[in-house]
């Protein structure tokens, strides 16, 4: 991350309201605080950005030297992790268990075969099959604080890491200000409370590149997260292959919705539900109905 991208700024939105801005996790991020003036908003945006950047430094799979990098380079040796990472690994283990293996933080190694660049370059069945022995939380030895993977295995907190950062950052700004806060990192967002007038935050869903009207969700408090294949997919023989991979087969789940957006009690919960809905393919809406999740599904 460059020094330039670590800056924060406060600007007026199209409606005239003030918003704090910064970049993190390859996403534009925005902070809205109902009732804050420019000086207060800048200070709160700096606190929000510092927390999101901290978590990015700690868990990004792209940054060398952090705990995820140490785990992924351990080559079969046990690694002792910090308390926060340990809690997150416990959470990932529960998600793997309750999803019957659909949500698996070891599935990222499949990216060695797939490059979701919109092309028709599907990997061979042999290439995917060769990676499957490196996928599966059930192959991991985890007894906090020690984690041991098989040689060649990796972990990746994608799907929950950014959402956790959004929840943390929103809570910090709300505690510091006592005002209603909305934090948005690339479409994953959290709200601490309704707006000062008691009305919800009106959140539009990104449908860029799709011939549909943008749905809007009214959010009083909690989180919203979206999963979809709008920007990352492969297209082969008329079949669209989304970037979300079934860790049990190693292949994308086809026949599902283009975008799933979920509102839940937290951004982290919303992110899990939206990802799992995509992994249920054509049964995405049935899955969401079973959880009574408030969701917008675009096919």
Q: Please write the tens of the pLDDT for every residue from 91-131.
A: 999 999 999 999 999 999 998 999 999 999 999 999 999 99
pLDDT over 90 at 292, yes or no: no
Here the tokens at position 228 are 């979809």
> Which residue, 112, 95, 113, is CA-closest to 104?
95
What would you report as the CA-atom Rg of the chain, rounded to the nearest whole angstrom? 20
pLDDT of residue 5: 65
DSSP letters spanning 64-82: TTSHHHHHHTSTT--EE--
Q: Please write the tens of the pLDDT for every residue from 227-245.
A: 888 778 899 999 989 988 9
CA dist., res. 167 & res. 257, Å (int) = 26
The pLDDT confidence band at residue 47, using thresholds 50, 70 and 90, is very high
Task: Give the H/E segment covering residue 24.
Answer: strand 18-24
Q: What is the dihedral of CA 59, 207, 174, 179, to 10 degrees?
A: 170
pLDDT of residue 146: 98
Lowest mean pLDDT of 32-41, 137-146, 232-241, 262-271, name the range. 232-241
The pLDDT confidence band at residue 253, using thresholds 50, 70 and 90, is very high
pLDDT over 80 at 173, yes or no: yes
Average pLDDT over residues 24-28: 93
Neighbours of 226 (CB within 10 A): 24
- In order of 36, 125, 189, 217, 228, the CA distances from 93 in angstroms are 40, 28, 24, 31, 24
Q: Please write the tens of the pLDDT for every residue from 192-220.
A: 999 999 999 999 887 777 777 778 899 99
pTM, 2 dp: 0.91
The pLDDT confidence band at residue 225, using thresholds 50, 70 and 90, is very high
Question: Do residues 272 and 282 touch, judged by C-beta distance below 8 A?
Answer: no
26 backbone φψ class: left, alpha, beta (φ>0; ψ -120 to 50): left
The pLDDT confidence band at residue 1, using thresholds 50, 70 and 90, is very low
pLDDT of residue 2: 43
């Amino acid at each position: 991350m460059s020094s330039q991208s670590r800056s924060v700024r406060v600007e007026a939105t199209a409606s005239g309201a003030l918003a704090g801005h910064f970049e993190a996790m390859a996403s534009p991020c925005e902070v809205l605080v109902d009732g804050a003036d420019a000086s207060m908003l800048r200070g709160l945006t700096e606190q929000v950005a510092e927390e999101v950047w901290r978590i990015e430094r700690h868990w990004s799979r792209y940054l060398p030297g952090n705990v995820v990098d140490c785990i992924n380079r351990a080559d079969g040796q046990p690694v002792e992790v910090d308390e926060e990472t340990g809690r997150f690994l416990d959470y990932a283990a529960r998600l793997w268990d309750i999803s019957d293996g659909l949500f698996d933080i070891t599935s990222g190694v499949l990216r060695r075969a797939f490059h979701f660049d919109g092309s028709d370059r599907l990997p061979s069945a042999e290439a995917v099959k060769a990676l499957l022995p490196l996928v599966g939380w059930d192959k991991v030895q985890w007894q906090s604080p020690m984690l041991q993977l098989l040689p060649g295995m990796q972990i990746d907190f994608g799907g929950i890491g950014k959402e956790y950062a959004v929840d943390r950052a929103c809570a910090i700004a709300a505690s510091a200000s006592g005002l209603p806060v909305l934090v948005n990192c690339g479409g994953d967002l959290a709200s601490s409370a309704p707006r000062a007038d008691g009305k919800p935050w009106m959140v539009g869903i990104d449908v860029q590149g799709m011939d549909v009207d943008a749905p809007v969700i009214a959010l009083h408090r909690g989180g919203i997260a979206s999963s979809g294949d709008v920007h990352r997919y492969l297209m082969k023989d008329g079949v669209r292959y989304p970037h979300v991979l079934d860790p049990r087969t190693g292949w994308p789940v086809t026949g599902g919705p283009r975008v799933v957006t979920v509102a839940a009690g937290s951004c982290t919960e919303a992110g899990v539900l939206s990802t799992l809905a995509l992994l249920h393919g054509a049964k995405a809406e049935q899955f969401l109905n079973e959880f009574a999740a408030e969701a917008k599904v675009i096919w």
